[in-house]
Structure 1
Amino acid sequence: MYRLDIAAFILLLMNFINKNKLFPLSRKELLLGFASGVFLALHFYFWIASLKYTSIASSVVLVSTNPFFVVVLSLILMKEKISPKVVIALIASFVGTVIITASDGNLLSEKIDKTSLFGDILAIIGAFSVSFYFIIGSKLRKNMDTNRYVTLVYTFAAIFITILAIFANEDIIHYSSRDFSFIFLLAIVPQLIGHTAFNWALKYLKATAVAITTLGEIIGSTVLAYIFFQQTIDLWQSIGILFIMSAIVISFRYGKV
């Protein structure tokens, strides 16, 4: 909630200071912007909740299945043609994801308990939600600049998730200054820089291609886990990373609108 609230506040403040015109917006743009914001909020709501019940690796890998949902939704909702080379990228990303998942603590051989299963389901719902976010974003970004789009969507997402948190009876006040410093960093780096970069790319790449690039999160989390938590990267993880990197390169090369 705070991640989105802070990001939205900063954007609104910057637009006010720079006297940028965010309006007028058509009714269709407002409705699609609201829908995109809701799905972004749901993505964070379910994905971050999943971290309480399942491992970081499982959560990140499962939430990164969003390209598969994006492809299906693009075919059904937008009748979008998928380049054969992007299909190859999807296959490569799927193989890489499976390899990393299997190698992460031998997940395939472990007995699945109900708690982990619940967390996995939450992560998958998070992936499904962000897929709609990308699909709607690709539609809006065709005629809307990045600043207007992210300000609109982040603001709607912030309002929606704040209402969710209040109705869920969450304690949203009693955090330490250290907690808030990390929350502030979440708003600045992953949200304002990371997600905004994805939204910028939606004007120039198909939603499918942009969704595939989010698989880089698996690589990033693996590398950072090694740096900060001394979690080593084994051979199979390295192979999986290479598959995913190949998928990202292919999606950028052949996934242009």
Structure 2
Amino acid sequence: MQPVTARSAVLFLLIASAAFAVSGPFARAARPVHPLVIAAGRVALAALVLGLVNARAMRRALPTLTPRQRAHVFGAGALLAAHFALFQWGLDRTSLPAALSLVALEPLAVVVWAWVLFGIRPTRPEQLGLSLATIGALVVARGAGSGEHRVEGDLLVLGAVVLYGAYVAAARGIRDALPAHAYAAFVYTGASLSLLLALPLIPGALATASPLPQHAAVYILLLALIPTLIGHTAVQWAARRMSPSIVALVSTGETLGGITVGALWLGTIPNPSEIAGGLFILAGTTLAILASRGTESPSSA
């Protein structure tokens, strides 16, 4: 891994955190479009751009993959699709501060999946971080029933967090078979196809997109360009040059930035339980990722 300067690390964290911070607020602003339409739209647009940019690399890489590797890539795309769907759905069913606080658990989900699948046991600081973050999640859940905060939405976001850990584990399992840019293009293509196939199965989802409100189209486009393309591109670039601990700090920046943007722009002020639980989650996550021995955990929202 090439050494990087403190200035480069700070610049990366500012850019990536800012890109991911607008994800939740933009998705809320796209209402009343169904959350699955928002998820499908942002991923499909991102897949289109990535496919066009990486068409030559994808054509070269596809014949080199075995049937098992192709199934692996499609499975990773399906996991990413389910992650986006649950996150957008959960965001729609609970308060913005609660959803963004729970998203900060994503690096810890990566730690747990690495333990389960690859036997990479968490260190004691990581275990302490997991404990603090779990307490924080329970405290956040106690705020349910106040304003827009609902347990149903919290559980959907937690499901998205768990699936994100599985998605990163899947990426780890095939990282040597494809270049990063080609892999990302294939995975986003698989994710967009999965979401587009699921749309007709969700009652009432397509009705909210026919016709698609102009404001929703703008925010879906912005979601595809800023958090999905710019944010993930920055993380993929950093993952090859910076320590995983620095890359994982984007999740903390995403939570703090998203809550701040939501409060200033949408007026979504966190209640006391959300503030207290969010602080526990951020403390636990920061402790765990700073103590990380190399678990990869880029942000996703």
Do Structure 1 and Structure 2 share a fold, with TM-score over 0.5? yes
Partner of 1:251: 289
1:116-161: CA deviations, max 9, x gaps?
2322222222112111111111222345322011101100000001
- CA distance in 1 between counterparts of 2:226 and 2:277 reads 28
Residues 94-243 of structure 1: pairs in structure 2 closer than 5 A: 94=134, 101=140, 108=142, 111=145, 116-169=150-203, 170-171=205-206, 172-200=209-237, 213-230=250-267, 237=275
Q: Please state how far the C-alpha of 1:253 moved relative to its aligned partner.
A: 6.8
Unmatched runs of 5 consecutive residues or more in structure 1: 102-106
Change (3 A) 1:166 1:82: same
State which of 40, 43, 46 in structure 2 corresponds to 1:4: 43
What SS class does the counterpart of residue 51 from structure 1 fall into?
Answer: helix
What SS class does the counterpart of residue 52 from structure 1 fall into?
Answer: helix
- CA distance in 2 between counterparts of 1:150 and 1:156 reads 10
- CA distance in 1 between counterparts of 2:95 and 2:269 reads 16
What SS class does the counterpart of residue 60 from structure 2 fall into?
Answer: coil
Partner of 2:5: none
State which of 5, 9, 14 in structure 1 corresponds to 2:53: 14
Q: Please state how far the C-alpha of 1:26 moved relative to its aligned partner.
A: 2.8
Residue identity in the other structure for 2:282:
I
What SS class does the counterpart of residue 294 from structure 2 fall into?
Answer: coil
8 Å CA contact 1:43, 1:129 repeated in 2:
yes
- CA distance in 2 between counterparts of 1:253 and 1:92 reads 14
Relative to the length of structure 2, the TM-score reads 0.67
8 Å CA contact 2:89, 2:153 repeated in 1:
yes
- CA distance in 2 between counterparts of 1:173 and 1:110 reads 33
Change (3 A) 1:147 1:195: same
- CA distance in 2 between counterparts of 1:134 and 1:19 reads 20
- Relative contact order higher in (CA < 8 Å, ≥ 6 apart): 2
Residue identity in the other structure for 1:194:
G
Tell me the number of residue pairs that the alignment of Structure 1 and Structure 2 aligns: 250
Partner of 2:298: none
1:64-112: CA deviations, max 9, x gaps?
433443333221211123344444554555566667x3xxxxx636658
Relative to the length of structure 1, the TM-score reads 0.77
What SS class does the counterpart of residue 119 from structure 2 fall into?
Answer: coil
Unmatched runs of 5 consecutive residues or more in structure 2: 1-39, 296-301
Q: Please state how far the C-alpha of 1:240 moved relative to its aligned partner.
A: 5.1
- CA distance in 2 between counterparts of 1:98 and 1:148 reads 39
Q: Please state how far the C-alpha of 1:15 moved relative to its aligned partner.
A: 2.0
Deviates more, 1:86-95 or 1:230-239: 230-239
Partner of 1:104: none
Residues 18-97 of structure 1: pairs in structure 2 closer than 5 A: 21-23=60-62, 24-91=64-131, 93-94=133-134
8 Å CA contact 2:91, 2:99 repeated in 1:
yes
Q: Please state how far the C-alpha of 1:198 moved relative to its aligned partner.
A: 3.9
Q: Please state how far the C-alpha of 1:223 moved relative to its aligned partner.
A: 1.6
